[in-house]
Structure 1
């Protein structure tokens, strides 16, 4: 049975400028005939497909932190949604603290997505929106509301306010939802991501293993942040890049000497091939 390699994207497989080096493409693609290759990311389908142009992906992709499992040719394997009523309640809790989220939703079964946000943005969010200036799936609202099928609701702010917000939302919904509070590696703020309770990379790995028929004992995963820990715990081999969060390194079987900007994943894979 083939080995399986599944990698996170941001700060792991992608460089900090969101590119994939020619070297990484060459090494990764050299495994396409001998291994099952996949990704697990917080990114949407659209962005992931753009970033991975020319990259071999043979397993269904774990997208939006596990809220969506889909193939590169847009076949939907699984979805985990936050419903509109819950989404609106989450937005309202943020309003009480003067902050508004990004809401990522599914528009249709063709994997058209909506990235919704309020006209009221903090500085961190404004920087993110600049990156999406040419995307046609972004929608600005004076009165932000959730859609029917929401993949995730994401707040960006200083850690202390997000800790308070998480506490308030947990008081309403408890363990009915999943909460991921993590630092943003380069912007000096934190994210609070709120998802369906089973929307995570660990559940995504299980769905992909069933769809692709692979053995978890043959699985190696690569990551850098706290949303990768679930798949670290499932994999036979969990590999953290050198720039990973310290708490993530503690959960890894292997910590690489190279960062994402130094092609850490590809260097590891090349070393495996060379014995």
Structure 2
């Protein structure tokens, strides 16, 4: 068996099935790890309000990494670590996107609140991870948006998003997920791997003793950081190419399958 002291779990496409539930097998397998003393860390692109509803009955997690690393919390120590995009850079990005992709929809996440200037049609809510019964982003005017230092900017409908990297790459991280249709923009130092490294330093675990599960581009940094990266069967090819192992899909208990094989 591997000397695994911490396990990092992505949510969508990984721990969660397509129905956004945690299967009984995944639950019980992670519980066995937790009971044996292994730290369980969740690292997701979602904000707290959207992530916590899926893990409210999953009591094994003390450290949560939200917004791809822009927000980190620890329940037991009451720690909250927040990294936001500077106000001036946010305004410049907003103006840039309005000029180059006026048809796109932009959401601004600030801590655990969400704002937009353009109401999102119901058919497009799922693109932002918003379910039909979830609260919709608050529609505000441009002056209010200009006052924000957002945790994360989400853009849907921006096909030439690489332009943002060329223009603002010195200030922000830009990742396209969900088949390239959702552009996620965060402050330059915010990433899943940077936040998880902070957690590992806090709990005294070395990266080589960490197993990480993921399925999309925002997990690539973690795969290069942690000692035993596991790509889901439904993961992008870029993750599978740098994984130590490729497990079953998220709908076939891929997390449990790998943990049962290598850890417990």
TM-score by length of 2: 0.87
Inter-CA distance 120–93: structure 2 relative to 1 (3 Å threshold): farther
Root-mean-square deviation over aligned CA pairs? 2.5
SS at match of 2:105: coil
User: Please, which runs of 5 or more residues in structure 1 have no aligned partner?
Assistant: 107-112
Answer whether contact 2:107 2:137 (CA < 8 A) is retained: no
Q: 1:224, CA displacement in angstroms? A: 0.5
Answer whether contact 2:4 2:211 (CA < 8 A) is retained: no
User: Please, which runs of 5 or more residues in structure 2 have no aligned partner?
Assistant: none
Answer whether contact 1:37 1:56 (CA < 8 A) is retained: no
Give the Cα–Cα distance (whole angstroms) in 1 for the partners of residues 98 and 124 of structure 2. Answer: 15
Alignment of 1:118-267 (within 5 A): 118-119=117-118, 121=120, 125-128=124-127, 131-136=130-135, 138-143=137-142, 145-146=145-146, 148-157=148-157, 161-163=158-160, 165-167=161-163, 169-182=164-177, 184-185=178-179, 190-256=181-247, 258-267=248-257
Q: Within the alignment, does 1:9 sit opposite 2:5 as a pair?
A: no
Answer whether contact 1:116 1:138 (CA < 8 A) is retained: yes
Give the Cα–Cα distance (whole angstroms) in 2 for the partners of residues 197 and 272 of structure 1. Answer: 34
Once the two structures are superposed, residues 213-239 of structure 1 have per-residue CA deviations (whole angstroms, 9 ceiling, x without a partner) of 212121010001111010111111000
SS at match of 2:150: strand
Once the two structures are superposed, residues 71-95 of structure 1 have per-residue CA deviations (whole angstroms, 9 ceiling, x without a partner) of 2468334221102222122122221
SS at match of 2:233: coil
TM-score by length of 1: 0.84
Match of 1:116 in 2: 115
Match of 2:106 in 1: 101
Deviates more, 1:238-247 or 1:38-47: 38-47
Answer whether contact 1:57 1:72 (CA < 8 A) is retained: no
Inter-CA distance 147–39: structure 2 relative to 1 (3 Å threshold): farther
Aligned length: 258
- Structure 1 moving runs of 4+ over 6 Å: none
Give the Cα–Cα distance (whole angstroms) in 2 for the partners of residues 123 and 136 of structure 1. Answer: 12
SS at match of 1:82: coil
Give the Cα–Cα distance (whole angstroms) in 2 for the partners of residues 14 and 74 of structure 1. Answer: 26
Q: 1:173, CA displacement in angstroms? A: 2.6
Give the Cα–Cα distance (whole angstroms) in 2 for the partners of residues 69 and 57 of structure 1. Answer: 16
Answer whether contact 2:105 2:118 (CA < 8 A) is retained: no
Answer whether contact 1:162 1:192 (CA < 8 A) is retained: no
